[in-house]
Amino acid sequence: MTRQQVLDLYFLDARHKLVELAAFLDRVERAGGPDDFRLKSFRQALAELNGRKRNRAKKVLLAFSDPTAKPVAQAHAKGASGAWNAAS
């Protein structure tokens, strides 16, 4: 596909998602209370969107990922929160 064709197919969808992201951050900052590990990872991931970098999706996923290598001693829960908590 040409860049024009990609824009024609996906621009409105991407614009919609970008406005949703902006509104989410406004909502979080309007609310009282401290940040948590998820928001910290989220801000790191956002930084990957700037400029003309390559592999942004991969870098965003890595910003949320557990970078350690050894198995944990025990699984204390079944679900995932979406961001790695270094303190857990």
83 and 38 Cβ atoms separated by less than 8 Å: yes
The smaller minimum CB distance to another protein, of residues 1 and 31, is found at 1
Which secondary structure element, helix H or strand E, spans residue 29, and what is its range? helix 3-30
Contact 40, 34 (CB under 8 A): no
Rule CB under 8 A: is residue 76 a binding residue for another protein?
A: yes
User: What burial class does residue 84 get, using C-beta atoms within 10 Å of its C-beta: 0-12 exposed, 13-18 middle, 19+ buried?
Assistant: middle
Give the x-and-dash track for 2-21 against another protein (CB under 8 A): ---x---xx-----------
Binder of another protein out of 25, 40, 45, 64 (CB under 8 A): 64
The residues that touch another protein, with contacts defined as CB under 8 A, are 1, 5, 9-10, 55, 57-58, 61-62, 64-69, 71-84
